[in-house]
Amino acid sequence: MSCLLWKTATLLSLVWAVGGQLSGDLRLVDRVSQTGGSSGRLEVYYSRQWGTVCQDSFGSNDARVACRQLGFSTYTQYGTVGRLGFSEASSFTPTWLDELRCRGTESRLSNCPANPIGVEDCFHSEDVALICTASTASPNGDLRLVGRSGRTGGSSGRLEVYYSGQWGTVCQDNFGSGDARVACRQLGYSTSTRYGRVGLLGFSQASLSTRIWLDELRCRGSESRLINCRANPIGVEDCGHSEDIALFCTGSSASSVTIGVGATVPFIIIVFIFLFIVLLCGIIRRRRLNRPPPRNLNTNTTSTATTTVTNTQNTAYSMNQRSSNSNQPPPPSNQPQPAAAYPTGQYSAPSYYTSYPQQPPAPYPQQPPAPEKPPPAMHFSGGEAPPPYPG
């Protein structure tokens, strides 16, 4: 896969990690398996999967924190799913939380002391169910996010504020990054990633009967609650619901000791993977630019073979010439050798055992002939004279 495809895949994963569910988000699953209502089986999101909460040690403080995280003021009932008339989860659904021990002041259920995530000894008949309520006893200024399906308790959605027994929206006039940061921090997250009109971020606007409580917000960013920021008096506004503000929040609060830290781990890992891929692609590209041009192996091989055959032919022809002219003395060594013309015939390469022609032996100096001795004297009888001496 090319570097461009790796970068694209990593960026898509990064967008998914920012805009999707975060670890520790809650939902209530009602009798017909719908979410977004005020009652149902309590489920928590972790490791890309929804799981249940066991009723071991689950008390009123845990129920209060869960309902408040879901956007309600408090609870009216809590207990096992069978006791409150809800169905238990399937056998494939994990049980994420067990032995919860909230103090009641936490902003998210994931910030409460509990067993490590997934460490439990429960059956799904012990799944916790809740019935939450938004009574007038709720502190004014509580916030919630209403998602695409109308459910609350997630990390993204239409921003709503509770006041005078009723949930209302926040107008986008003068709404900036400081206001978004304060809102997400009040909701239990570390910061915001995006904010804007509901239509631009893909969320629905509130009904016409819903009040618009806040307009012209001017937060400094250090406030603990959105209602503490400077703004128009509550309910004084000149907006329509097409201007309702929506938020994407990310990261858990620093006090998280259980699964809250899981919200930021995928995001950080994907960021490191993306940076590593960018660095690796840069190194590969630099090496390719500095690499010498490839050699034409076929041309070099052909040239080498031709040179070898030519040298072989020259050697064979030179040997034949020397064999035919073996009686002639070799030319003086201080004069250049004349280039031999190529014969028209084909010659085979000489054997490794071909002996070079021997030079003719140098003539030995001739000795002068020895003088002939005179023949011995012959004696004749009869008084004949001897023959004359030759020469």
Amino acid in position 313? Q
**CA dist., res. 377 & res. 242, Å (int):** 164
Bigger pLDDT: 297 or 219?
Answer: 219
- Using CB atoms within 10 Å of the CB of residue 384, give its burial: 0 to 12 exposed, 13 to 18 middle, 19+ buried: exposed
Of the candidates 212, 197, 205, 202, which has an alpha carbon nearest to the alpha carbon of residue 167?
A: 212
Same domain assignment for residues 187 and 238: yes
Residue 17 maps to a domain: no
pLDDT at site 18: 44
**Residue 160's CB: how many other CB atoms inside 10 A?**
25
Contacts 24+ apart (CB under 8 A), 157-161: 157/203, 157/246, 157/247, 158/198, 158/203, 158/204, 158/205, 158/206, 158/244, 158/245, 158/246, 159/183, 159/244, 159/245, 159/246, 159/247, 160/71, 160/206, 161/213, 161/214, 161/226, 161/227
Residue 384 maps to a domain: no
Residue 165 maps to a domain: yes
Same domain assignment for residues 111 and 205: no
Cβ–Cβ < 8 Å for 125, 84: no
Cβ–Cβ < 8 Å for 48, 122: no
Same domain assignment for residues 178 and 127: no
Give, to the nearest 10 degrees, the angle between helix 265-290 and helix 3-19: 170
Same domain assignment for residues 197 and 230: yes
Amino acid in position 361? P
Provide the phi-psi class of 227: left if phi over 0, else alpha when psi is between -120 and 50, else beta.
Answer: alpha
Domain boundary among 255, 287, 305: 255
Same domain assignment for residues 244 and 164: yes
pLDDT at 306 over 70: no
Both tokens of 191, joined, read 């910061």
Of 33-37, 116-120, 147-151, 297-301, the range with the lowest mean pLDDT is: 297-301
Given the structure tokens 């390469």, which residue do they identify? Answer: 349
Phi, psi of 168 (to 5 degrees): -135, 170
Same domain assignment for residues 96 and 154: no
Cβ–Cβ < 8 Å for 244, 197: yes
Task: Say how many domains are in the chain.
Answer: 2
Amino acid in position 15? V
74 forms bridges with which residues in the sheet? 133
DSSP-assigned letter for residue 110: G
pLDDT at site 347: 54
Residue 163 maps to a domain: yes
> What's the whole-number mean pLDDT along residues 197-212?
91
This prediction has a pTM of 0.44
| Domain enclosing residue 239, as ranges | 139-255
Same domain assignment for residues 40 and 126: yes
Of 97-106, 151-160, 258-267, the range with the lowest mean pLDDT is: 258-267
Same domain assignment for residues 202 and 99: no
Cβ–Cβ < 8 Å for 176, 245: no
Question: 327-382: per-residue pLDDT in tens?
Answer: 555 555 555 555 555 555 555 555 555 555 666 666 666 666 766 766 666 655 55
Highest mean pLDDT among 51-60, 281-290, 298-307, 351-360: 51-60
> What's the whole-number mean pLDDT along residues 48-61?
93
> What's the whole-number mean pLDDT along residues 106-127?
91
**Under DSSP, is residue 161 helix (H, G, I), strand (E, B) or coil?**
strand
- For every residue of 25-46, DSSP letters joined together read -EEEE-TTS-BSSSEEEEEEEE
Cβ–Cβ < 8 Å for 214, 261: no
**CA dist., res. 212 & res. 243, Å (int):** 10
Residue 177 maps to a domain: yes
Residue 352 maps to a domain: no
**Under DSSP, is residue 273 helix (H, G, I), strand (E, B) or coil?**
helix
Q: What is the sign of the dihedral through the CA atoms of 65, 150, 196 and 260? A: positive
pLDDT at site 17: 46
**CA dist., res. 247 & res. 157, Å (int):** 6
Of the candidates 195, 47, 217, 206, which has an alpha carbon nearest to the alpha carbon of residue 141?
A: 217
Cβ–Cβ < 8 Å for 127, 109: no
pLDDT at site 186: 86
pLDDT at site 256: 34
Residue 185 maps to a domain: yes
> What's the whole-number mean pLDDT along residues 234-262?
71
Same domain assignment for residues 129 and 54: yes
Domain boundary among 255, 277, 309: 255
Buried-exposed string 270-294: b where 16+ CB fall within 10 A, e elsewhere: beeebeebeeeeeeeeeeeeeeeee
> What's the whole-number mean pLDDT along residues 150-174?
88
**CA dist., res. 160 & res. 205, Å (int):** 11
Q: What size, in residues, is the chain?
A: 391
Q: What is the CATH number of the domain that holds 59?
A: 3.10.250.10
Query: CA 66: distance to chain centroid?
Result: 36
